[in-house]
Amino acid sequence: MNIAVLCSGNGTNLQAIIDAAASGALACRIVLVMSDRRDARALDRARLAGIETVALDPKTYAGREAFDRAVVAELTKRRVDLVLLAGYMRILTPYFVGAYRGRIMNIHPALLPAFKGAHAVRDALRAGARQTGATVHFVTEELDGGPIVLQEAVAVRPDDTEETLLARVHEVEHRIYPAAVRLFAEGRLKVMAGKVIIA
Ligand code: GRF
């Protein structure tokens, strides 16, 4: 199985997938790491691991769909079976979702459907939530709204800052994202009526 990972930032989740693949735990190959930012640290992590990288600048495309068409062209060229969003700060267009329906996963730093959006950890803290967590889900046209594959809770401590809470959420992310990829690669994930069944 060929995997592509799309990142905009640090890429610690990418690193967790790289490490899991290198340890032989995933039965798949990361064939491409893509970014919408040339300066993404994730690209350095990929290069260090000997993985091909492509960075495309959204500003040089006519619009969001034109950009996504270019991304999808790179994916199909390399016969990518599964697309992983890992800190990818763009909302996919219906074109992209349609081209890879059921074959795109995302990791989100909260227990969806709670705290959707780009500031999930901060929002959970501000709301005074006792628990938050991390979720791996399939990507649909609805932002942070697709069928949930795996999730795990993280207790919020009274003295947590965004930084300390995020660090514990990340620990969970780095465990459940590779686990979800493994389930996909083993053909154990089925979506029925909007819910994921794990065989
Ligand atoms: C993660 O917290 C993920 O849940 C969110 O973006 C963050 C990316 O972190 N979608 P990293 O780049 O993988 O370190």
Give the pLDDT confidence of 14-43 residue by residue, as tens digits: 999 999 999 999 989 999 999 999 999 999
Q: What is the rounded CA–CA span in Å between residue 25 and residue 37? A: 29
DSSP string, 129-155: -SEEEEEEEE--SSTT-SPEEEEEEEE
141 C-alpha to center of ligand 1: Å?
A: 20
Phi-psi domain of 37 (left: phi exceeds 0; alpha: psi -120 through 50; beta: other): beta
State percent of the chain over pLDDT 70: 100
DSSP conformational letter for 1: -
Distances (CA, A) of 51 to 54, 91, 107: 10, 24, 21
Q: What does the pLDDT read at residue 150? A: 98
Q: What does the pLDDT read at residue 168? A: 98
Q: What is the rounded CA–CA span in Å between residue 65 and residue 62? A: 8
**Mean pLDDT confidence for 176-185:** 98
41 C-alpha to center of ligand 1: Å?
A: 12
**Mean pLDDT confidence for 118-144:** 98
8, 12, 104: residue to mutate for ligand 1 pocket, most atoms within 8 A of CB: 12
Indicate which atom in ligand 1 lies nearest the CA of residue 169: 2
- Report which of 49, 20, 39 is spatially closest to residue 174, judged by C-alpha positions: 20
Q: What does the pLDDT read at residue 38? A: 98
Say how far residue 181 (Cα) sits from the centre of its chain. 10
Reduced to 3 states (helix: H, G, I; strand: E, B; else coil), residue 61 is coil
- Amino acid identity at 73: A
Q: Is 137 a catalytic residue?
A: no
Q: What does the pLDDT read at residue 8? A: 98
**Mean pLDDT confidence for 126-143:** 98
Instruction: Read off the pLDDT band of 57 (50, 70, 90).
Output: very high
CB-based pocket (< 6 A), ligand 1: 7, 9-13, 86-87, 107-109, 173
Instruction: Read off the pLDDT band of 81 (50, 70, 90).
Output: very high
Instruction: Read off the pLDDT band of 179 (50, 70, 90).
Output: very high
Q: For the chain, give the mean pLDDT.
A: 98
132 C-alpha to center of ligand 1: Å?
A: 15
Contacting residues for 39 by C-beta, under 8 A, at least 6 apart: none
